Amino acid sequence: MAATQAEKSYSLLRDKIVEGDLAPGDRLVNRSLAEEFGVSVIPVREAINRMASEGLVNQIPGAGAFVRLPEEQEIRELWIFRECIECSSAAEAARHISDRELTELDTILDDWEALTAEIEKQSSGKATRAQMKQWMQNEKSFHNRIVEASRNRFLVRTAKENQMLTRLFGVESKPIRMKARDARRTHSEHGELIKALRRRDAETARRLMSEHIKGK
């Protein structure tokens, strides 16, 4: 039971940080989080310690635990890291991806199309918080499938080990309300990437992934 509560606490705390409910620099109060998660203080403490070991939380003696605020250089390095991993993964995926995996990517793209249409109907011209959450879940699934389709165990392992940092500290993880025109452009970029994968065009897949990450 304790292990289950620790996993639950870790998952809930991670989601609060990724979704922007807890921002870099915010203090993590064990008792308040335990009450919110419906667990005791011990699994919350374990979750915080785990995040500290992963570089997501700073623990300051006498002050408490805080969501870590990354330095500008660290963010730049993470962008370079993400491009290296995901562009290589896209190129390798073009060589090894299965028909089943292509169908899975098509399904995600269809969901993005419906979501993009919903965003375009918003009077504000921007996605709602719920729409952004769904969009980012699709984004994570889409990129994970491409990395897995690379059939390279080292790319997969490295991407998984560093995924949380790139999500938290990369621009793609910030809870910005996406504008309708950006949603349509991003949807189109994903579609073009799937076409390159289906053609087994490794170099085009690499280029498109690079342009997507750089926001060109």
Residue type (1 letter), 86: E
pLDDT value at residue 171: 43
Confidence (pTM): 0.76
Residue 167 has pLDDT above 80, yes or no: no
Torsion sign (Cα): 121, 213, 70, 14: positive
- Full 3-state SS string of the chain: CHHHHHHHHHHHHHHHHHCCCCCCCCEECHHHHHHHHCCCHHHHHHHHHHHHHCCCEEEECCCEEEECCCCHHHHHHHHHHHHHHHHHHHHHHHHHCCHHHHHHHHHHHHHHHHHHHHHHCCCCCECCHHHHHHHHHHHHHHHHHHHHHCCCHHHHHHHHHHHHHHHHHCHHHCCCCCEHHHHHHHHHHHHHHHHHHHCCCHHHHHHHHHHHHHCC
Domain(s) of CATH 1.20.120.530: residues in the chain: 72-214
In this prediction, residues 14-19 reach a mean pLDDT of 80
Instruction: Note the CATH architecture for domain 2-67.
Output: Orthogonal Bundle (1.10)
In this prediction, residues 44-68 reach a mean pLDDT of 92
Contact status, residue 196 vs residue 209, Cβ threshold 8 Å: no
In this prediction, residues 29-50 reach a mean pLDDT of 95
Element (H, E) at 94: helix 72-96
pLDDT value at residue 103: 98
- Give 150's pLDDT tier (boundaries 50, 70, 90): very high
Among 72, 60, 75, residue whose Cα is nearest residue 27: 60
Residue 67 has pLDDT above 60, yes or no: yes
Residue 23 has pLDDT above 90, yes or no: no
pLDDT value at residue 168: 67
Residue 2 has pLDDT above 60, yes or no: no
Contact status, residue 89 vs residue 147, Cβ threshold 8 Å: yes
Pairwise pLDDT comparison (214 vs 58), residue with the higher score: 58
Among 52, 69, 70, residue whose Cα is nearest residue 61: 52
Which fold would CATH assign to domain 72-214?
Answer: Four Helix Bundle (Hemerythrin (Met), subunit A) (1.20.120)
Domain(s) of CATH 1.10.10.10: residues in the chain: 2-67
Note the pLDDT tens digit of each residue in 92-129: 999 999 999 999 999 999 999 999 999 999 999 999 98
Two structure tokens written together for 32: 């308040």
